[in-house]
Structure 1
């Protein structure tokens, strides 16, 4: 199942402090992908897919929190996994990237690694899906849009290129997570979203994002007025 993207971005916050944000987004022709594939924290982002082993994502994030580099952490987990040939696993941390596609994943499968991101997919209509996902993320057309919005745009590009090839499976899902090294209290409410069962996952994820962003902005405005 699935195609997904993991990213790392450095930025300066309003107080002038250097920060890193991490994001992961995924869609597939199965329900509930948000419970299985995407993992993010203030230490990195990881996606586990194909014949999913959720522990690769959970432990991957834990290992990053313990200070392991992403390539060391994810390679160690794969080497201890008897199902490695059927796994797809990729992610980013503060300094590195990692992507793996086992030789027993279902066609079309593969991955691409950029300077600050990884994209991977399997059971796709073709290589254009991950190439267009990566190109959309790299595009300058998004300006200063929040990372969550840009991740949805990347999924939309992959979906438009063909996406998951199993057209006989109507019930689909999508999810995104964004985390930063800033205090968690500052995280917007639209940075951890899931659409668990729908026939239009990317469009519904975008609608959910836009509604959540509107709600977040309304809350910020309300509390600003009360100060």
Structure 2
């Protein structure tokens, strides 16, 4: 029977994951960790304004796009999941979770998933796991998600860390991923993804994913600072760049653009020592400084530019 329902094209992504909705923003997401290379490329699916899917265990990848298509047509997560399970001869090997923009969830843990396997649903989320060392994983994930303060990414990362705290995957760790999309589609797919991060191969993938999530948030401050600069609001840009720099004080690029904005605000005495430390570590930033004067990202006099080049 196994050889008839399992195909080599279907990866063995035994894992733990969570699908969840932020009740404040309406954002929806899915996060996962597994002892499997590039788990995010086979488990996580999402579409803004529709829902998210985690398809794992003996993975049938079609549950992702097909599940999203059915939910987009108006089916509830349970109706969509039931329709796909009814046409899958290998449903007993599947573990799948669907969540829509209303926070409704549907979860299936097949009877032939490798122990320890199970799931727990709650308001706006479902946590599921298979091939775990202990059967406490999904409850620990649920408890962490429900009690952690912060945004959706913070709470989903907390769930993954809780799973690891219960010893997680019996085989160990290798990769992790997080995907968050907006509650409402904008009509521009490139604007609909809030966060899409993957750790493909790492000894501590959840820890690395947590670092990348923090870095993503810091660069979000940077991006918003750029937009503020484009809009001519240099004071707002300064605060945004500083927020990013405070999160990663050793990041040269964040220091650099904060200092450039200080120069645009005519705060030369504050900017020069920052740029001096950046230039000493990498002189290419000094070369860049002369170039961004030409396209008016940096607006200073020739005399002031010469002083910078002398740092």
Same fold at TM > 0.5: yes
1:131 alignment partner, one of 116, 134, 139: 139
CA–CA separation in structure 1 for the residues paired with 2:213 and 2:171: 26
For residues 95 and 204 of structure 1, the distance between their equivalents in structure 2, rounded to whole angstroms, comes to: 28
- Farther-moved stretch of structure 1 (211-220 vs 78-87): 211-220
Is structure 2 residue 204 aligned with structure 1 residue 200? yes
Measure the CA separation in 2 of the matches of 1:188 and 1:92: 16
- SS of the residue corresponding to residue 22 of structure 2 reads strand
Farther off after superposition, 176-185 or 101-110: 176-185
Correspondence for 1:120: 128
Alignment equivalent of 2:159, drawn from 154, 165, 169: 154
Does 2:10 align with 1:10? no
Once the 2 structures are TM-superposed, how far is the Cα of residue 8 of structure 1 from its aligned partner?
2.2
Structure 1: how far apart are the matches of 2:191 and 2:229?
Answer: 18
- Equivalence for 1:224: 228
Write out aligned runs for 1:171-182 (5 A).
172-182=174-184
Relative contact order (C-alpha < 8 Å, sep 6+): which is higher?
1
The residue aligned with 2:98 is 91
Q: Does 1:58 align with 2:65?
A: yes
SS of residue in 1 equivalent to 2:132: coil
SS in 1 for 2:62: helix
Give distance in 2, aligned partners of 1:176 and 1:217: 19
Q: Which runs of 5+ in 1 are unaligned?
A: 13-19
- Residues 48 and 177 of structure 1: CA distance in aligned 2, closer, same or farther (over 3 Å): same
Q: How many Å apart are 1:134 and its aligned residue?
A: 0.6
Alignment of 1:38-53 (within 5 A): 38-41=44-47, 42-53=49-60
Gaps of 5+ in 2: 1-13, 232-311
Higher strand fraction: Structure 1 or Structure 2? 1
Distance 1:188 1:99, change over 3 A: closer
The one of 22, 25, 29 equivalent to 1:23 is 29
> Root-mean-square deviation (CA), in Å?
1.7
Larger relative helix fraction? 2
Q: Give the total of aligned pairs.
A: 213
